[in-house]
Amino acid sequence: MTTTDQIKKLRAMTGAGMLDVKKALDETGGDIDRAVALLRERGIAKAGKKADREAREGLVGHYVHHNGKIGVLVELNCETDFVARNDAFKELAKNLALHVAMAAPQYLRREEVPAEAVEAERAALRAEALEEGKPEAIVDKMVEGRIGKFYAESVLLEQPYIKDDKKTIEHLVKEVAATLGENVQIGAFSRIAIGE
């Protein structure tokens, strides 16, 4: 039997609606941790469905390193100005700007990486694997695995989040989108560093 205290606690933790919280608690036998995980999964699935909706509102998150040598601007979009003024949305914009400053991605998404850059990386990885004495038969599989690492280092959405490396930036954005109930997208970013 789900108690009122459990419902209040789970709502405070997740920001989910009363019916969603009650249903999750009923399904998990009152286990708060499992209910949080269930709500998160459902929210991310809902956020995926909302990803096609147009996001024309938002704000620009910014970060300037304490020594003044690195500056970042991140365009974060959402569907309504109401969400753009939400603290969770503002926090996401700030955290994304900090992440870009520290992780220095070169591209927003995989599709933006020039084909020449990918081929050059493949060729370098292939030569490296052959130089290590790996058999020709497994070199191509190794190269494909290592190309994934190349994307994870250079593509913002695929980078592990600096504050929680168990999730990618794409996953972080989807979590916030699920919480806010709107399509949230990174529009663009720009990183400037003295001497780079």
- Per-residue pLDDT of 75-120, as tens digits, reads 999 988 889 999 999 999 999 999 999 999 999 999 999 999 999 9
Q: Which residues contact 137 (CB under 8 A, 6 or more apart)?
A: none
Q: What is the mean pLDDT of residues 9-32?
A: 77
- Kindly report whether the global pTM for this prediction surpasses the value 0.75: no
- pLDDT single digits (tens) 134-182: 888 788 888 888 888 999 999 999 999 999 999 999 999 999 998 888 8
Give the pLDDT of residue 138: 86
**How many whole angstroms separate alpha carbon 15 and alpha carbon 6?**
13
Domains observed in the chain? 4-50 (1.10.8.10), 57-108+155-193 (3.30.479.20), 114-153 (1.10.286.20)
Residue tagged 């009152």 (tokens) = 30
